[in-house]
Amino acid sequence: MEDMRPLAQTTMAWPFEEARKIIHSLEGKAPSKGFVLFETGYGPSGLPHIGTFGEVVRTTMVRQAFALLSDIPTKLYAISDDMDGLRKIPDNVPNGEMIREHLGKPLTRIPDPFGTHESFGHHNNARLRAFLDTFKFDYEFISSSECYNSGKFDPMLLSVLAHYEEIINVILPTLREERRATYSPFLPICAETGRVLQAPVVERDEKMGTIVYQRDDGKLIETPVTGGHCKLQWKVDWGMRWAAFGVDYEMSGKDLIDSVRLSSQVCKILGYRPPEGFNYELFLDADGTKISKSKGNGLTIEEWLQYAPEESLAYFMYQSPRKAKRLYFDVIPRAVDEYLNFLEKFPEQTLEQKLNNPAWHVHEGKPPREELPLSFAILLNLASVTNTEDKAVLWGFISRYARGANPEAMPMVDRLVEYAIAYYRDFVKPHKHYRVPTEEERKALEDLAQSLKGLAQDPEAIQTEVFEVGKRHHYTNLRDWFKALYQILLGQDEGPRMGSFIALYGVEETTKLISEVLKKEK
């Protein structure tokens, strides 16, 4: 690690660029709290999702880059905004009508519709922790409700009260005219109903630490701003939280750029340095539309992990975080093979190359050594051409192709076999369509079958022969020749490197496959 530190000072990998920003902001010194604090936020009205994973894994990548650059200790807080009032009944909960009478209350003061925890907020917080623990993230969980109710936020809430005018002068210009008339940084929690109120504040008493607000019925109510009697509007809450904890780094989506700016101003008003940050792009669906949890037009983390290893998802999150990426099923095979390619290259690379290799960031600087004789795309096509969902069948081909290959010796390949079968079953098999060859294509296929006979199971020699057949049959663009092979033999528009695939499937088996195709069309 020490040998890598000088190289980490100049590497262009984005986590190191972010880590260097933090070091610069700290002027190379440890904060007074004794550690550098990274933060991620979570809105617990819904369940953890793929965006949650993306934010935590990217933050973790910056944190581990910082650890290589500096000896200052670090922590990661995963903070749940469970003091927020619930605005609507979520679609994916049981006993939804039970929640209706509690709408508007903080999530930790609403009964758990699942019946397993003391509140709906506690239930979803438990789901968040289980989610993060599944991926072995190193974090400390923080409940916003606990911080408000226990008094941890009290000093900062009193500071917000003392700087009331400065803060609203930052926020008001960003609001519509009708909203400005009633805006207050403080949202009182009604003692009678338990609901979080958007109520105008008519009086403030900094010495007593109280506000007087006007309820919808016109009644004036005095309440402390401390002890869980009020919470803050979220942009003010965000800035207050940065100040309260001394947050040094937090990233967020591109849609929150304006909110980050306002919260940073609030943090400065409270006398603290706002954290360094990073704005990542949002995910798009297959049609280029922004992914929405309510629309369900995206890919869930459970769906990705059904067809590919979690390391490939972490790799997908690493790649070009400032670029909007389409997140749908067709991106999975490419992401898997790109990840495997970087993993395979890692052991032979220089130290500088290793720091720029996504595998370093995916595996916290210690990528495993994996023997990977086959790509995921090849395995997908093997499952496709054999039309099987039996692992043993696929391993029969693999063990013949790679000497000594077996599930115990190659656990990653064994995982990939399972994923390939699942992906083939759900996405390839239902859409396979074998094209009838033209007369010219029939001649080329007959030539290919003859040319393959007697060849060894050598991917390079086979690939060369496939090329030569295409040239002999006057394919000016050899891509058209390979596309014809994919459509006629595999029933799809795209496919693997044919030399590698034929070597895996077998020369004799491939010639039989060609013969069967030609017999059917005679």
- Per-domain boundaries in the chain: 283-362, 376-431, 439-521
- Give the C-alpha distances (Å, rounded to integers) separating 217 from 87, 190, 199, 279, 375: 21, 13, 11, 42, 68
Q: Are 385 and 358 in contact (CB under 8 A)?
A: no
| C-alpha–C-alpha distance, residues 200 and 494, integer Å | 62
Q: Which residue has the tokens 């080329």?
A: 444
Helix (H, G, I), strand (E, B) or coil at 192: coil
The mean-pLDDT minimum among 66-80, 254-268, 483-497 falls in 483-497
Is residue 384's pLDDT more than 90?
A: no
Instruction: Please report, for residues 28, 57, 224, the alpha-carbon distance to residue 35 in angstroms, rounded to integers and kept in the order given.
Output: 12, 20, 33
> Do 416 and 379 form a contact (C-beta atoms < 8 A)?
yes
Q: Which residue has the tokens 């226990």?
A: 150
Q: Name the β-bridge partners of 253.
A: 280
- What is the C-alpha separation between 278 and 58, in angstroms, rounded? 10
Mean pLDDT is lowest, of 11-15, 89-93, 329-333, 427-431, for: 89-93
Element (H, E) at 5: helix 5-8
Please give the average per-residue pLDDT across 184-204, as a whole number: 94
Sorting pLDDT into bands at 50, 70 and 90, what band is 297? low
Confidence class of residue 293 from pLDDT cuts 50, 70 and 90? low
The residues facing 252 across adjacent strands are 279
Q: Please state, in angstroms and rounded to a whole number, the distance separating the CA atoms of residues 343 and 517.
A: 38
The pLDDT value recorded for residue 296 is 55
For the entire predicted model, the pTM comes to 0.89
Q: How far is CA 303 from the centre of its chain?
A: 12
Spatial separation of the C-alpha atoms in residues 455 and 47, rounded to whole Å:
55
Contact between residue 45 and residue 9 where contact means Cβ atoms under 8 Å apart: no
Distance (Å) of CA 477 to CA 37, 397, 404, 492: 56, 31, 38, 19
> How far, CA to CA in Å, does 174 sit from each of 102, 179, 235, 277?
30, 10, 11, 22
**Residue 444 contacts residue 473 (beta carbons within 8 Å):** yes
Helix or strand or coil: residue 379? helix
Q: With pLDDT > 90 as the criterion, what percentage of the chain qualifies?
A: 73
The predicted pLDDT at position 522 comes to 53
pLDDT tens digits, one per residue of 204-228: 999 999 999 999 899 999 999 999 9
pLDDT in tens, 464-503: 999 999 999 999 899 999 999 999 998 888 888 899 999 9
pLDDT at residue 250 in the model: 98
Percentage of residues of the chain with pLDDT beyond 70: 97
Contact (Cβ atoms closer than 8 angstroms) between residue 466 and residue 498: yes
In the block, which residue shows the tokens 């995921």?
376
**Token output for 469:** 């057949």
445 within 8 A of 516, measured Cβ to Cβ: no
Is a pLDDT exceeding 90 seen at residue 417? yes
3-class state of residue 222 by DSSP: strand
d(CA 100, CA 89): 7
The DSSP-derived string for 76-144 is EEEEE-TTSBP-S--TT-SSHHHHHTTTTSBGGGS--TTSSSSSHHHHHHHHHHHHHHHTT---EEEEH
Q: Is the pLDDT of residue 155 over 90?
A: yes
Each residue of 424-463: pLDDT tens digit? 899 888 888 889 999 999 999 999 999 999 898 899 999 9
Given a cut of 80, whether residue 377 has pLDDT beyond it is: yes
Nearest CA-CA partner of 197 in 176, 211, 214: 214
Give the right CATH number for 439-521 from 2.102.10.10, 1.10.10.350, 3.40.190.80, 3.40.50.620: 1.10.10.350
What span, in angstroms and rounded, lies between the C-alpha atoms of 15 and 62?
Answer: 4
Q: Is residue 301 scored above 90 in pLDDT?
A: no
What's the whole-number average pLDDT of the chain?
91
pLDDT digits (tens, 9 = 90+) for 310-367: 999 999 999 999 998 888 888 999 999 999 999 999 999 999 999 999 999 999 999 9
At 463, which helix (H) or strand (E)? helix 459-472
Which amino acid, 36?
Answer: V
Helix (H, G, I), strand (E, B) or coil at 320: coil
Handedness of CA 468, 473, 474, 480 (dihedral sign): negative
Q: Is 149 exposed, middle or buried (0-12, 13-18, 19+ CB in 10 A)?
A: middle
Among 5-19, 45-59, 494-508, the minimum mean pLDDT is found in: 45-59
